[in-house]
Amino acid sequence: MAGTAGRSGRRPKPTARKELAGNPGKRALNKEEPVFTPIKGVAPPEWFAEDDGLPMATVMWELTTKELCGQGLLCVTDLAVLERWCVAYEFWRRAVRSIANDGLTINGAMGGKIKNPELTAKKEQESEMSSTGSMLGLDPSSRQRLVGLAGQKKTSNPFLKMINA
């Protein structure tokens, strides 16, 4: 919330990532920060397959967990955010298909042309995907902020060493 003490501005970078980057700000590091264990893989939520199901959400879950777990970036505490991201992706795809089929305008109740409501749904899902994807490091700029190790080989990733040990 804007203007709230301690909540304004950019989200803080986790201490482990500051240490990996060599603590470029040279500020005191938080020694009380909780540390969560990365997971090596997780199946999509069962409810993704219920009734008509969420086929694209399931596909995105599998693709995304493969990448995040491979980098040692996914913890159990991140699963709710990942679930939100996958569902938003599914609904975004549905809205895009509907817009492609019906067009930008549809016939309203009074017979005149109105803006297709799927355009609003599409925009809302894009916003959800953007915010949750950024939390998970799924876009290039947030990925760069997450890692802080530009130019180093993947094999030198200390997170991978921890989960493989």
DSSP-assigned letter for residue 90:
H
Q: How confident is the model at residue 80 (pLDDT cuts 50, 70, 90)?
A: very high
Whether the predicted pLDDT of 100 surpasses 70:
yes
Distance of CA 15 to the CA centre of its chain: 20
Average confidence (pLDDT) over 129-147: 81
What are residue 17's phi and psi, to 5 degrees? -75, -30
Average confidence (pLDDT) over 44-72: 91
- Residue closest to 79 by CA, chosen among 19, 132, 30, 27: 132
Q: How far apart are CA 37 and CA 31, in angstroms?
A: 17
- Computed over every residue of the chain, the mean pLDDT equals 84
Residue environment code for 153-162, b if the CB has 16+ CB neighbours within 10 A, otherwise e: eeeebebeee
